[in-house]
Structure 1
Amino acid sequence: MKVASAALAVTAVLALAGCGAGSSGGSGGAAAKVPATATGSLESLAAEVKCKPDMQIDADELRQALCKNGAGKFVLATFATDRGQREWINDAKDYGGHYLVGRKWVAVADDGVVRSLRGTLGGDVEAGADHHAHGG
């Protein structure tokens, strides 16, 4: 289930973001001051970034929702365990995308949205496989 969930999340984000090709949503300047990494439920994290989560998966080990705010569209997921989170991220990265990673949560979107969310939620930015060479 976790691989399918990761694929679903990343596929949804890549479809919404147009694979992130030519993304221009960043500030282009020096790295902004990053707040302490947020913690909490999916709903509390969504409230922090002013989105109403559209729940896609609501299971004991994984809660996942589609979100949209002023920065753009993204997937927000919370996990029951650190190990479950890391396995999900490792599987999802094969599909590309950009990941904002906190303790037992992740946001997946194009680079500009991830960097915007980081200004509120803190966390670490990770990048998935680069598929730009696949052109189109």
Structure 2
Amino acid sequence: MRTSRIPKDVALALAAAALGAAALAGCTGEDGHGSGHGDGGDPPPVAEGTLEELAERAECEPRVQTDADELRQANCTTAYGTYVLATFATDRGQREWINSAKDYGGSYLVGRKWVAVAEPAVITELRGRLGGEVEAGEQHSGHH
């Protein structure tokens, strides 16, 4: 029986695209000072909803790149940085995507059936808006 599994090659391509966008965000010269919603307190409860609902909460106008039953992915550009936001039909599909994507490095903010990929300063800001858990990918080159 086939449920909505994301083929590995598709997941890897999406992860590479997501991390490419995150890498571009790292070239803005921002150093992450003064996160607007940080306040140094605990993050809010983990956000749930559609891609558009999550993007609205994060003050992003999403540019949808992938729109499939099992995965929706958009690029977001905001005042606090650029990131990729992906939503998933299943928890399993989400975990498979994250596990494949982590091979490329990067920082991930993980919620219930959604993931954001960006540089650490943007992830910190997003966590103040969306909640979630921060996960880090593998670092293959120590000289970056």
Structure 1 length-normalised TM: 0.87
Report the secondary structure of 2:59's partner residue: coil
Shift of 1:128: 0.8
| Greater helix proportion | 1
Query: C-alpha offsets along residues 74-106 of structure 1, whole Å, 9 cap, x if unaligned?
Result: 000000110110111111111111100000000
Shift of 1:11: 2.1
Q: State yes or no: 1:67 paired with 2:76.
A: yes
Kindly tell me the number of residue pairs found equivalent between the two proteins: 133
- Aligned twin of 1:84: 93
In structure 1, stretches of 5+ residues that fail to align are none
Alignment RMSD: 2.3
1:15 is aligned to 24
Output the TM-score relative to the length of structure 2.
Answer: 0.83
Name the structure 1 match of 2:31.
24
- C-alpha distance in 1 between matches for 2:30 and 2:99: 23
List, as ranges, runs of 4+ consecutive aligned residues in structure 1 with deviation greater than 4 Å. 26-31
Query: Equivalences for 1:1-136 in 2 at 5 Å?
Result: 1-18=10-27, 24-25=31-32, 31-131=40-140, 133-135=142-144
Q: Residues of 1 paired with 2:108 and 2:30: CA distance?
A: 15
